[in-house]
Amino acid sequence: MQANLVVDTKGLACPMPIVRAKKALDKLEAGQVMEVLSTDKGSVNDFQAWVKQTKQELIKHEEENGIYKFYVKKV
């Protein structure tokens, strides 16, 4: 998947992945996609709740070798 912006939050614990993602999202225009990388297991639930609350679109999320990848489309 092609992302317009990659936000690396590996090694950061909650709530920092969401805080960094929120700041990065402000730089995107509607329709653009942000990829967020995280090693925090709790970020899976955090991102699902955050996109629902902010009305953004979580295109997909996946886990690979302990790294969680979230693809968020700005609405």
The catalytic residues are 14
How far apart, in whole angstroms, are the C-alpha atoms of residue 42 and residue 2?
Answer: 25
Q: Using the 8-state DSSP alphabet, how is residue 4 labeled?
A: S
* Long-range contacts of the stretch 61-66 (C-beta < 8 A, 24+): 66/39
